[in-house]
Structure 1
Amino acid sequence: MVRTAGSDGVKTLQAIRKAGVKRIYKHGFEAMKLRSLAEDVGIQAGSLYNYIRNKEEFLFLLLKEVLEELLEGLERELAGIDDPKEALIRFINFHLRWHTARKEEVFIGNMELRSLSKQHLQEIIRMRTEYESRLRRILERGNEAGEWSVADPQVISYSIIASLTGVCNWYSPRGRLSQDEIIAIYTDHVLGAVGAR
């Protein structure tokens, strides 16, 4: 986002981002008014333009930052892991923990792509494809190592990600199962689905 200098600027930018996520999640991007967002943060509406150029750019930068955090987190999770089965287990664990902790951003990322300009949409799709390709490469390595036999790693990677991300629609920390129990169930399910040894 535009302004980053100074601690007050950084804190205000973080407050704008947090308030924006809540507003978009609750009301949708099209219904979010910049004036209302400024009121949530306690600044003048005109002051928003010190931080963002326009509403669409705000959405793009929000989604871009979320995907950057996601990709960096996955990179750390998989660093130094050569065994494809262990990499798949770590991918499942990371994906479920990250997505259940960031349900609002995940919802926005899935529902508001239509509100992006063509150029911004292409950039977000490129980043999402980069994330999906990490899983596809794990599946391909597992095929090569004889850990499993997946006929179409790209299609199966889409299927796995859709299944794992779907947890966001119903997961509650106060629910019947703990996060660890849910991760164990999904890990068994995915390993069984790919035919892991």
Structure 2
Amino acid sequence: MANQRRRDQISAAAIELFAQRGYFGTGMEDIATAVGMGTSSLYNHFRSKQEVLSDALLRTMEDQLRTHARALAGAVEPVDKLHRSMIAHVQFHTENVVATRVINTQVTALAEPHRSMVHQLRRDYVSRWQAIIDEGVESGQFTVADRRITCFALLDMGIGIPLWYDREGRLTQQELIDCYADMALRLVGVDPAAVRDTAR
């Protein structure tokens, strides 16, 4: 347990450094210094900088998939699924700003097979959203010009958040989540007010 806590501390420090300097601009000695240990001690927890990066990115994607699955528990209609998906999507990106920024900018630094593993998890996440869009269109609840582009547009709405989000900004996290959830529904031709009325 103590060893896992230490790994978590190292991973968190490394993510901050990767976000600031990039993977190639960060050395194992930088990570060791950030957590107050010697470089040789760091190798007792991670065998290489590649392992640090792969551990961080894989865990981030796995966490995002679990978060999405929990959000959809009990949802039946595609409108509800999309609404819950965007709420979870924005919440995850606002609560994991640094980790999600790193996964979107440093994944190309990963060597195989870990790069393919991360890409597969991302494809799994996209597939979940695509299934919701397809279900909504086929049931007549969604109206979109292009299903695939709509899916990517919805995902990009959240992915861009780590580039500018400020917890001390004009909108609270909840206000931002509500704004994005409403925009997601409008993008597929659903009136957000009708969803709110149904939820009451």
Shared fold (TM-score greater than 0.5)?
A: yes
SS at 1:118's partner residue?
Answer: coil
Match of 1:3 in 2: none
What is the CA–CA distance in structure 1 between the aligned matches of 2:157 and 2:114, rounded to whole Å?
Answer: 26
The alignment status of 1:8 with 2:2, answered yes or no, reads yes
- Alignment counterpart, residue 152 of structure 2, candidates 132, 149, 158: 158
Gaps of 5+ in 2: 192-200
What is the deviation of 1:97? 0.8
The alignment status of 1:49 with 2:37, answered yes or no, reads no
Match of 2:24 in 1: 30
Deviation string for 1:157-185 (max 9, x for gaps)? 11111122212222212111222222222
RMSD: 1.4
Mapping of residues 19-98 of structure 1, within 5 Å: 19-98=13-92
- Alignment counterpart, residue 124 of structure 1, candidates 107, 118, 126: 118
Q: Which moved more, 1:59-68 or 1:179-188?
A: 179-188
- Alignment counterpart, residue 168 of structure 2, candidates 162, 174, 181: 174
What is the deviation of 1:76? 0.8
What is the CA–CA distance in structure 2 between the aligned matches of 1:60 and 1:151, rounded to whole Å?
Answer: 37
Q: Which moved more, 1:133-142 or 1:50-59?
A: 50-59
Task: Work out whether residues 12 and 41 of structure 1, in 8 Å CA contact, stay in contact via their aligned partners in 2.
Answer: no
Q: Which amino acid aligns with 1:45?
A: T
The alignment status of 1:105 with 2:82, answered yes or no, reads no
Q: Which moved more, 1:166-175 or 1:27-36?
A: 166-175
Count the aligned residue pairs. Answer: 191
Deviation string for 1:22-79 (max 9, x for gaps)? 1111111111110121122222211222221211121111100111111111111101
Match of 1:137 in 2: 131
State the percentage of identical aligned residues: 29
TM-score, normalisation: structure 2: 0.89
Task: Work out whether residues 134 and 147 of structure 2, in 8 Å CA contact, stay in contact via their aligned partners in 1.
Answer: yes
Q: Which moved more, 1:175-184 or 1:148-157?
A: 148-157
TM-score, normalisation: structure 1: 0.91
What is the deviation of 1:151? 4.3
The alignment status of 1:115 with 2:127, answered yes or no, reads no
Q: Which amino acid aligns with 1:85?
A: V
Gaps of 5+ in 1: 1-6
